[in-house]
Chain A
Amino acid sequence: MLINGKESEFADVRTVADLLKALELEKGAVAVELNREVVPRADHLRTTLHEGDQLEVVTLVGGG
């Protein structure tokens, strides 16, 4: 999987929720995009990941 532009591999990561847990971001204010479509938080548990998926995990930072 490509996560935030970096090739990454995880064991036991099946869903978006699993991935956020593996990244220790399950409690953070983050939004997830899977293959250029937003995955709403309510769908994290049931959205499964596959090889070759491209993910963006984003948050809010200071900006103008």
Chain B
Amino acid sequence: MTSPQTQPASNPTHDTTLRVGGRKLGSRLIVGTGKYADFTQMEQALDASGADAITVAVRRERLYNEKGESLLDHIDLARYTILPNTAGCFTAEDAVRVARLGRELLDQLGNPGKDWVKLEVLADKKTLLPDPLGTLEACRTLVKDGFEVLCYTSDDPVMALRLRDAGAASVMPAGSPIGSGQGVLNPNAIRIILEMLKDPANGGTPDYPVIVDAGVGTASDVSIAMELGSDGVLLNTGIAHARDPVTMAHAMRHALEAGRLAYLAGRIPKKLYATASSPWDGVISYIPGE
């Protein structure tokens, strides 16, 4: 007699694919390439994360000193879709310039990340909080210029709505300040953003992508973001500055999958009092109050 083949009740691969604008992503995790101790460690961590979209920054080329190793020598351009950011920009005008330079670079490299940009317009160096007015202005200009804009923003639901209306391909609310490792500080705000942008009853579109960007400190933060119903998570420092970045990249990948599946499975509501898992029927013991 052959034993029945055991199979998990639900198959995670039945999950839908994350779509952002015209692109399909193989993973719901997008990771950054900054802050690694060296390029070898970065390559291993990117691989372990399972991500197929990775963010990069646009910076001045070193002209006269030792040119050294280049990031591009360590990235498999056939494997990864490169998402250039506008990090370090404090005005809409500069963010638009940087986005266009990023597009020119990716065009030369023949990478599908061309016409894609992670828009950041920041208010100041200390908080790295997004400047909402500059962000909205740059988003409008870039959308008009043919970009698919993945828009970094605060967790303000009304701002998220305005960016969606301005044509952002994805709204990416911060869980907490960039690089702070504080996780998702205001899950209710993220929940309201998700409801406003994704729930048809609230004028949303179910497959409009909302990606939690910034503030992730450890694996459970990723799970929480996904359990809320976010479509993906973008992170960098949480992996790059972990004591062991490669192991943390594995943890983030698993946490993302766990959170996503928990969201799809539907959590039980929280209740103030206990509900017994074993039946009361047939207990032989004394029960207080009965």
Instruction: State whether B105 touches A31 (Cβ < 8 A).
Output: yes
Q: How far apart are the CA atoms of A23 and B60 in the complex, in Å?
A: 13
Q: How large is the interface on B (under 10, 10 to 19, 20 to 34, 35 or more residues)?
A: 35 or more
A64-B70 in contact (CB<8A): no
A57 and B35 within 8 A (CB): no
A29 touches B55 (CB 8 A): no
Q: Which residues of A contact B179 (CB under 8 A)?
A: 64
CA distance A23 to B61 in the complex (A): 10
CB-based contact A41/B104 at 8 Å: yes
CB-contacts of A1-19 with B (<8 A) = 3-6
| Count of chain A residues with a beta carbon within 8 Å of a chain B beta carbon | 25
Taken together as a complex, chains A and B put the C-alpha atoms of A41 and B90 apart, in Å, by: 27
CA A40 – CA B100 in complex, angstroms? Answer: 10
Q: Are A57's CB and B71's CB within 8 A?
A: no
* Cβ of B87 under 8 Å from chain A: yes
Does the CB pair B108–A61 fall under 8 Å? no
**Chain B nearest CB: distance from A9 CB in Å?**
13
Q: Are A60 and B71 in contact (CB under 8 A)?
A: yes
* Chain A residues closer than 8 Å to B82, beta-carbon distance: 60
A residues at B contact (CB < 8 Å): 3-6, 23, 25, 28-33, 36, 38, 40-41, 56-64
Binding site for A on B (CB under 8 A): 32-36, 42, 55-61, 63, 70-72, 82, 84-85, 87, 97, 100-105, 107-109, 178-179, 234-237
